Chains A and B, each alone.
Chain A
Amino acid sequence: MNTHHHILSVKHCSIIFGTLLIFTLLTVAAAHMDFGYFNFPLAMLIATIKASLVVFYFMGLKFDSTENRVIFFSSFIFLAIFIVLISSDVLFRKADVYVPHNEIFNAKKFSSEEVPHD
């Protein structure tokens, strides 16, 4: 077993911390600008970089044993299962079952008396 513990120096800690702050500013800035289709991917990209910094440096995964790295990344398999199987529903709904959002949105506000019966 690898019992060696890597301790991050104050200098390194500060650098990572500073980088995280810069990326936080980037998050806020990106939220104020409109990139059209790329709004969502960009936000996710920034968030992923921030999360990776925390995981690799603050949580020490970069210096940890391979075993723990494998365990950590295997949790992504479950994330993949989660997304793929939900997509098998959301992406495959038929139009007659699935009412588009904007139609509901434009409809009058729901109240129990007004729900149409067909």
Chain B
Amino acid sequence: MYSDTTADQEEKNNYLNHSKGIKSWLTSLDHKRIGVMYLFSILIFFLVGGIFALIVRTELWGPTKTFIDANTYNQAFTYHGTIMTFMVILPLIPSAIGNIILPMQLGAKDVAFPRLNLISYYVYMSGALLAVVTLFVGRVDTGWTFYTPYSIRTGGATILVLAGAFLMGFAAILTALNFIVTVHKLRAPGLTWSKLPLFIWCLYATNIIQMLATPVIALTLMLLTFERLMGIGIFDATLGGDPVLFQHFFWFYSHPAVYIMILPAMGIINEVIPVFSRKTIFGYGGMAVAVFGIALVSFVVWGHHMFTSGQSETANFIFSLITMFVAVPTGIKMFGWIATMYQGSIRLDTPMLYALSFLFVFLVGGLTGVFLATLPLNVHLTDTYFVVAHFHYTMVGGAIMAFLAGLHYWYPKFVGKMYLEIPARIGCVLTFVGFNVTFLPQFVMGIRGLPRRYYDYPPEFTQLNQVSTVGSFLIAFGLLWTFLFLIISAYKGPKAPRNPWGANTLEWQTSSPPYHENFETQPIVTKGPYDYHS
């Protein structure tokens, strides 16, 4: 497997040493460097959001006060949610990994609009900093959903966070536009639509959702700002507005946003499983169509977040019914992955371990989603820890596991060194075990009726809460371990060949790390992305 010849010349000229100094990075138009900047920024926010998670879990070690007061607790879970959704998971795979890999998988020199790419990074950063700065000027306690009427009346610099989310949405729209044009215009000769790697298909579907849904959240947050500043009376019932309308507007974006997080994750799994099973992906066409099926259905199910909000029974019925359909394309993907592995020669390298973790975690997350979509059951489970466990299984378990799969899979390409295999596997096991120890007990607590977001709880929930807290520290340990060894590998790891995994997609045909302009010569595509038999 590690038999490719590596020219020593390659080391001398690559995107990492093409030009030097911090300024050459901050003003770089190279998609790979912009992707790396996204990656580091997002990982720093990931650390901050993770610290807030640990604060929340530590406070929940026992009933009543453990170490912070109730108001600080509300702020801690607000920042955990806001940072993790808007600043980490939404941009994580598309803007960081996608930015580096998408043009290379297409055989292009760069994205279609390199300057726009750099601008979107800075727009994202200004939004993120605007949101983080409120930690020091007026902490927000609305939860990441900013539900009215509370968000209209509570103190804190709520408007700054709204403005931050608005800007980050803008950055996402610019990136999405850029990627869509790149896929349409910059494919290498021979790379027809039916030969596109599934990672590209997933990013493409994600970008369409981003372009269509993000403007709605931007306008909603703007309306909320106007409501706070001027009392325009659209969400405020005392002025003739409708607070439930806010939830409609919010979830019209935020349900599809779940798929902005999960579709790129599925894209990574689509790449990793065939490579490490040495088999063609099962049902390429079906897998690609399923992605668009998920994207389409994602736009018509948002009301399932509102079954107990006072929404009409008619709407409850419609949304419950349509939500069940999400399971169909998702099921196609699950079966496709399992059928791909069937009778393959499976190698359990770290990316594959993460991919298998993803399958398990995402299956639990997806199936509990069906529980929640069931109208009568939802009335019991809504706003309990069952929901918390469910969306952490899909969003965190799904997106983060897949991100780590992708990070290890493409690490040799990004850095030019192999990561250290044994510590990486240990990190994967630690994270996977920690994740399940944290969130499985939350399903139990939720079914027993423990409401989410509460500072206090009845003493009989103490044990399960403590298990969950121990698990959260295990995740933190596993992630720190993983990233520590990734940093060490950058210095101590063995030199990576061009194509360490024997993969077929174009990014593996250039040097590791790639040249400034990706390829020495324009690559020409003659076979499919998962064609391992010809």
Q: Which residues of A are in contact with B by a Cβ distance under 8 Å?
A: 75, 78, 81-82, 85-86, 88-94, 97-98, 101, 104-105, 109-110
Which B residues are in CB contact (< 8 Å) with A90?
A: 242, 245, 312
Q: Quick check: B314 and A92 within 8 Å, CB to CB?
A: yes
Nearest chain B CB to A20's CB is how many angstroms away? 22
Known interface pairs A89-B303, A101-B237. Does A82 touch B312 (Cβ–Cβ under 8 Å)? no
Q: Quick check: A86 and B312 within 8 Å, CB to CB?
A: no
Please name the residue on chain B nearest to A74 by beta carbon: B212
Q: Which residues of B are in contact with A by a Cβ distance under 8 Å?
A: 212, 216, 237-240, 242, 244-245, 248, 252, 299-300, 302-303, 306, 310-315, 318-319
Please name the residue on chain B nearest to A98 by beta carbon: B310
* Cα distance A82–B312 in the bound complex, in angstroms: 16
Which A residues are in CB contact (< 8 Å) with B318?
A: 85, 88
Q: Quick check: A81 and B242 within 8 Å, CB to CB?
A: no
* Cα distance A109–B231 in the bound complex, in angstroms: 14
Nearest chain B CB to A21's CB is how many angstroms away? 25
Nearest chain A CB to B502's CB is how many angstroms away? 37
Which A residues are in CB contact (< 8 Å) with B212?
A: 75, 78
**In-complex Cβ contact of A82 among B240, B252, B306, B310 (8 A):** B252
The binding surface of chain A is classed by DSSP as: helix
Q: Quick check: B303 and A85 within 8 Å, CB to CB?
A: yes
Please name the residue on chain A nearest to B322 by beta carbon: A85
* Cα distance A60–B197 in the bound complex, in angstroms: 34
Q: Quick check: A88 and B310 within 8 Å, CB to CB?
A: no
* Cα distance A88–B312 in the bound complex, in angstroms: 7
Q: List 30 A-B contacts (CB under 8 A).
A: A75-B212, A78-B212, A78-B299, A81-B300, A82-B216, A82-B252, A86-B248, A88-B303, A88-B312, A88-B314, A88-B315, A88-B318, A89-B244, A89-B311, A89-B314, A89-B315, A90-B245, A91-B312, A92-B312, A92-B315, A93-B311, A93-B312, A97-B312, A98-B310, A101-B237, A101-B240, A104-B237, A104-B238, A105-B239, A109-B238
Q: Quick check: B299 and A81 within 8 Å, CB to CB?
A: yes
Known interface pairs A85-B315, A89-B314, A92-B313. Does A105 touch B216 (Cβ–Cβ under 8 Å)? no
Known interface pairs A89-B315, A94-B312, A94-B313. Does A105 touch B248 (Cβ–Cβ under 8 Å)? no
* Cα distance A109–B238 in the bound complex, in angstroms: 8
Which B residues are in CB contact (< 8 Å) with A85?
A: 300, 302-303, 315, 318-319
Known interface pairs A78-B212, A81-B299, A85-B315. Does A97 touch B310 (Cβ–Cβ under 8 Å)? yes
* Cα distance A12–B212 in the bound complex, in angstroms: 31
Q: Which 8 residue pairs are nearest across A and B when measured between Cβ atoms?
A: A89-B315, A92-B312, A92-B314, A88-B315, A93-B312, A101-B240, A89-B311, A89-B312
Known interface pairs A85-B303, A86-B248. Does A105 touch B312 (Cβ–Cβ under 8 Å)? no
Q: Quick check: B238 and A110 within 8 Å, CB to CB?
A: yes
Please name the residue on chain B nearest to A97 by beta carbon: B310
Which B residues are in CB contact (< 8 Å) with A97?
A: 310, 312
Nearest chain B CB to A97's CB is how many angstroms away? 6
Given contacts A75-B212, A91-B312, 11 further A-B contacts (CB under 8 A): A78-B212, A81-B300, A85-B303, A85-B315, A86-B245, A86-B248, A92-B312, A92-B315, A97-B312, A101-B240, A105-B238
Which A residues are in CB contact (< 8 Å) with B245?
A: 86, 90
Nearest chain A CB to B208's CB is how many angstroms away? 10
Q: Quick check: B240 and A93 within 8 Å, CB to CB?
A: no
Nearest chain B CB to A80's CB is how many angstroms away? 11
* Cα distance A101–B234 in the bound complex, in angstroms: 12
Which B residues are in CB contact (< 8 Å) with A109?
A: 238
Nearest chain B CB to A78's CB is how many angstroms away? 5
* Cα distance A90–B245 in the bound complex, in angstroms: 8
Which A residues are in CB contact (< 8 Å) with B299?
A: 78, 81
Nearest chain B CB to A12's CB is how many angstroms away? 28
Which A residues are in CB contact (< 8 Å) with B216?
A: 82
Which B residues are in CB contact (< 8 Å) with A104?
A: 237-238
Nearest chain B CB to A103's CB is how many angstroms away? 10
Which B residues are in CB contact (< 8 Å) with A82?
A: 216, 252
* Cα distance A81–B306 in the bound complex, in angstroms: 17
Which A residues are in CB contact (< 8 Å) with B300?
A: 81, 85
* Cα distance A92–B303 in the bound complex, in angstroms: 14
